[in-house]
Amino acid sequence: MNKDRTKLQVSAIESGTVIDHIPANQLFKVIKILKLDAIQNQITFGTNLYSQRQGKKAIIKISDVFFKEEELNKIALIAPTAKINVIRNYEVAEKSVVEVPDLIVGIVKCVNPKCITNHEQIVTRFTVIDKQRVELKCHYCEKITDQEHLKIS
Ligand code: CTP
Ligand code: ZN
C-alpha cells in the first residue's frame, strides 16, 4: 500500500480545511472538540488509513470552513501530530501544525473528583504547565490533569 492509495480513499476538496495525520484512534474526539456535528457544510473523513509516518491515521476534510488558529489548536491536546491544510481552488494554499494553547477553557474534565467543576455547572479552566507532556493545572482546585488522565467533556 502506498500513500497515493489513501488519497483515493478520501476525495480532494475544492475549498476548505483538511486536517491530516490525526492518530486513527482520536478521530471522533477531534470531531467533538471542533463541534463538527453541528455544522451544515460538507464533511468527509476516513480513519485507519495508511500513513508512512504514523502507521494508521485519520483525516477530516471540511468544505468551505476556515477555522481560527485558536480553534484548531485545541486539538493539539489529543492529536499533536495533526497537520492543517487550507485548500483554495483545489490547491493547498497554506499548511500549519497545531500547538497546545497556554490556557484551556472547557473541553477537558478535571481529574479531581472533588473539584467544583465536577459538581456544578462551571466551565473548566486550566493553565497548561507543560505543553510537551500535556499537563494542565486546574484554575479551581489546582490539581494537575495529565495526558494519561485527560478526558474530553
Ligand atoms: N487535499 C485535499 N484537497 C485538495 C488538495 C489537497 O483534500 N484539493 C488534501 C490531500 O489529500 C492531503 C492534504 O490535503 O491529505 C495535504 O495535501 P498535500 O500537501 O498535497 O499532501 P502531502 O504532500 O501528502 O502533505 P503532507 O505530507 O505535508 O501531509
Ligand atoms: Zn479541578
CA of 82 to the centre of ligand 1 (A): 12
Does residue 61's CB lie within 6 angstroms of at least one atom of ligand 1?
Answer: yes
Where b means 16+ CB within 10 Å and e means fewer, 103-135 reads ebeebbbbbbeebebbeeeeebbbebeeeeebb
CA of 46 to the centre of ligand 1 (A): 14
Determine the residue of 8, 10, 18 to mutate for testing ligand 1's pocket, defined as the one with the most ligand atoms within 8 A of the Cβ atom. Answer: 18
pLDDT of residue 7: 54
pLDDT of residue 1: 43
CA of 77 to the centre of ligand 2 (A): 17
Residues 11, 42: Cα–Cα separation, whole Å: 12
Reduced 3-state DSSP string for the chain:
CCHHHHHHHCCCCCCEEEEEEEEHHHHHHHHHHCCHHHCCCCEEEEEEEEECCCEEEEEEEEECCCCCHHHHHHHHHCCCCCEEEEEECCEEEEEEECCCCCEEECCECCCCCCCHHHCCCCCCEEEEEECCCCEEEECCCCCEEEHHHCCEC
pLDDT (tens place) for every residue of the chain, 153 residues total = 445 555 557 899 999 999 999 999 999 999 999 999 999 999 999 999 988 888 899 999 999 999 999 999 999 999 999 999 999 999 999 999 999 999 999 999 999 999 999 999 999 999 999 999 999 999 999 999 999 999 998
